[in-house]
Amino acid sequence: MNAEMVMQELEALGKERLKKMYISNGAHEPLFGVATGAMKSIFKKTKINQALAEQLYATGNYDAMYFAGIIADPHAMTEADYERWMDAAYFYMLSDYVVAVTLAESDIAQKVADKWIASGEELRMSAGWSCYCWLLGNRPDHEFSADKISSMLDLVQRTIHAAPERAKYAMNNFMYTVAVSYVPLHDKAAETAKAVGPVEVKRDKNKSKLIHAFENIQKAVDKGQLGFKRKHVRC
């Protein structure tokens, strides 16, 4: 399949209801409103195809960019490639669920994510913290330095309340993911989340809400979910 054929199939799968939902979350035209699960039928025809992924990502069409993440070859992408994809990721559903997810399957994931976390840029920070969530929720515990993850928890505790909005969500999720999926630091992550307390995030111009990692950690503990690892990062 070439890019034009993929675009035609994506357009045919578009739903107005989903399009409106994506736009309410920050997407903008062009987009079709395709359910991510519906993309599997196209993936069966394309398989992993980095060249095609690059063509689709470059369209600026949200659905095509999302599908590009599904068919990308994470190991074929360089640090410069990930930076280029991040430059085009204009809202969190691209930064955290396309670029960060693809990066999480590469060998340079932690190196690039560390750089993004330190960047001070909202979506890069969000993608960096999210990448660690995808990594911790998938890879064996021994692949991580406990000292490093511990220092990252300290960083969250010191900076989350003053962080950019999308970074707050990702940092909150990081505390939860460490507590649930990285058993060596469960206790410290839970203590950190308790010390951080509720985090206020803005939903739109006038409304805000509170997110609380500690409450969600307790729910996961009650459900016996400690040590949870997902088999695959991407769909």
Q: What is the mean pLDDT of each run of 10 residues along the chain (235 residues)?
A: 97 98 96 97 97 98 98 98 98 98 98 98 98 98 97 98 97 98 98 98 84 97 96 82
Structural domain includes residue 56: no
Structural domain includes residue 231: yes
Confidence (pTM): 0.96
Structural domain includes residue 27: no
Burial class from Cβ neighbours inside 10 Å (0-12, 13-18, 19+) for residue 191 reads middle
Structural domain includes residue 199: yes
Token pair in block for residue 145: 């330095």
CA-nearest of 146, 186, 154 to 171 is: 154
Structural domain includes residue 209: yes
The whole domain housing 228 covers 107-235
pLDDT at 232: 87
Phi and psi at residue 10, in whole multiples of 5°? -60, -45
Structural domain includes residue 28: no
- Count of domains for the chain: 1
Structural domain includes residue 38: no
